[in-house]
Structure 1
Amino acid sequence: LRARDRVTDVVLPPSLTASEVQRLAADPDGFARELARPMPRPPQPAARRGTRFHAWVESRFEALTLPLLEPDDLPGGDAEIADEQDLQALEDAFERTEYAQRTPYRVEAPFQLTIAGRVVRGRIDAVYRHDDGDRVTYEIVDWKTGRSRTADPLQLAVYRLAWAEQQGVPPESVTAAFLYVRTGEVVRPDPLPGRAALERLLGADPSGEIPHSEEAGAGR
């Protein structure tokens, strides 16, 4: 017989990363389990190679320098880079994209955004600035080095709002895109959720708790 499920309230931390916001939106119960029972993550060689790809993009633009990052802040965690040959193939693929000929305004731009009383932190891969004399607009680009085309637009929504508020410009003047480096495909999800939608996501429960169902036990 199966024992009755029980519900445990897991407190949402006051500070989140952009990736954690995505996991919360996609799978609240799974995210609650992570918070309730954190497990150590094994070393990820592919992620380290993804970090090197991001560093290579930065070093490619000589006017920009690589910021000093803490290990947990390094980009590339979504990478699926098999080996050094695959990393070289990614670099070659980037050279064939439209962004190889454009110099970013900022790379690995850090941000801190307060949503529903919680701080969301992260880094934006690249920001491009366009000034036509009458209006300044920005384009945020996130490099995707994996093989699947499954990036979550919520990530860009957070980045877009953070950059707009950091620069003191309306969100409408900021566009955002994923660059799937392997294929050169550029995807610009539209529309992106604004502050109100993000506030609802993180502030639906004023107690800051995520109801989390778990089995109390099982028997045969």
Structure 2
Amino acid sequence: VRLTPEETRTLASWDRDLDALTGELLRARAAVTDVPLPASLTASQVLHLAADPDGLAQELARPMPRPPQPAARRGTRFHAWVESRFEELRLPMLDPDDLPGSDAEIADERDLEDLKDAFERTPYAHRTPHRVETPFQLAIAGRVVRGRIDAVYKEDDGDRTTYEIVDWKTSRTRTADPLQLAVYRLAWAEQQGVPPETVKATFVYVRSGEIVRPRHLPDRAALERLLTRDTQDRWRTAGEEPPDEHTPTGG
């Protein structure tokens, strides 16, 4: 097939573009470097590691300042309101990843007030927590994971003491990662010197009043594997675990 001069120039342009793109790809691959995990991680970073290790590596390699997030500030205010509802405590200065409710989806002030009303309809509003906004540092796999537990409820039936870790979720969808509760449960159990089996872990979706208790949370060994292995596969496979225990409450 004989090409016209214009078609010949177009093909030549395409060849040059292809060569340029190929060169950029090769340079990008050559520039890839291993990003070591820091000695100290937030619980949020552990979740990021499990879900998207490459994304976490990019974040660690090129940290970017975070723009102001009004919804996140309202989420922090909701957690502070829950805390003050039970006891008079001031939140200490925290890193952005440590702020309670920093991932909240609270649209405006009216939405914040609706969340407060919804919280009052949950059974936890009428129970007295053992601890609220409790900070922790968990030494694991040669690193320190730090975070903050929204609430801990204590139950004592005379024969033994059990605890329930509770994390308030203000999002509109049930998307919380059970790995978060696994970290919290282990941290509390080791902090108190009790078996992890005596610590329940619960997500409370405040908007709907739904209570979710994931089954078969990973133990210390599983968390250590997550922080040490080269291939960061998810600790659970879709369909592998039985359904979580969940309880709808309120209206």
- Whether TM-score is above 0.5 comes out as yes
Residue 81 of structure 1, CA deviation = 0.5
User: Displacement, 1:66?
Assistant: 2.1
Helix, strand or coil for the counterpart of 2:64? coil
Matching residue of 1:194 = 219
- The answer to which structure, 1 or 2, has the higher relative contact order (CA under 8 A, 6+ apart) is 1
**Which amino acid counterpart does residue 189 of structure 1 have in structure 2?**
P
Contact 1:78 1:144 in 2 (8 A): no
Q: C-alpha offsets along residues 103-159 of structure 1, whole Å, 9 cap, x if unaligned?
A: 110000010001100000010000000000000000000000011110000000000
Task: Give 1:185's aligned amino acid.
Answer: E
Distance 1:74 1:195 in 2: 25
Larger radius of gyration: 2
Give the corresponding residue for 2:60. 35
Residue 85 (structure 1) shift: 0.4
Residue number in structure 2 paired with 1:216? none
Which secondary structure state, in structure 2, belongs to the residue aligned with residue 11 of structure 1? coil
Does structure 1 conserve the Cα–Cα contact (< 8 Å) formed by 2:80 and 2:91?
Answer: no
Cα-to-partner distance string for 1:70-120 (whole Å, 9 max, x where unaligned): 142321111111111000000000011111111110000010001100000
Amino acid at match of 1:166: Q
Q: Displacement of 1:65 after TM fit? A: 2.6
Aligned equivalent of 2:139: 114
2:154 equivalent in structure 1: 129
Partner secondary structure for residue 159 of structure 2: coil
Instruction: Give identity over the alignment, percent.
Output: 78
Partner of 2:48: 23
The letter of the residue matching 2:88 is T
Whether 1:139 and 2:151 are equivalent positions in the alignment is no
CA distance in 2, matches of 1:200, 1:70: 31
* Residue 174, structure 1, aligned to residue 199, structure 2: yes
Q: Distance in 2 between matches of 1:118 and 1:88?
A: 39
Q: Give the corresponding residue for 2:89.
A: 66
User: In structure 2, the residue corresponding to 1:127 is in which secondary structure?
Assistant: strand
Deviation readout 1:190-210 (Å, 9 max, x if unpaired) = 1100000000001225xxx99
Note the residue ranges of structure 2 that are not aligned, 5 or more in a row. Answer: 1-17, 233-251
Q: TM-score, normalised by structure 2?
A: 0.79
Aligned match of 2:229: 204
Partner of 1:214: none
Q: Tell me which moved more, 15-24 or 5-14.
A: 5-14
Tell me the C-alpha RMSD between the 2 structures: 1.4
Deviation at 1:29, TM superposition (A): 0.5
Residues 37-58 of structure 1 deviation map (CA, whole Å, 9 limit, x = unaligned): 1111100111110111011111
2:117 to 92, 109, 129: 92
In the aligned structure 1, how far is the partner of 2:89 from the partner of 2:112? 19
Moved more, 106-115 or 6-15: 6-15
Distance 2:148 2:88 in 1: 15
Q: Does the aligned pair in 2 maintain the 1:67–1:108 contact within 8 Å?
A: no
Q: What is the CA–CA distance in structure 2 between the aligned matches of 1:159 and 1:71, rounded to whole Å?
A: 18
What is the rounded CA distance, in whole Å, between the counterparts of 1:80 and 1:18 in structure 2?
19
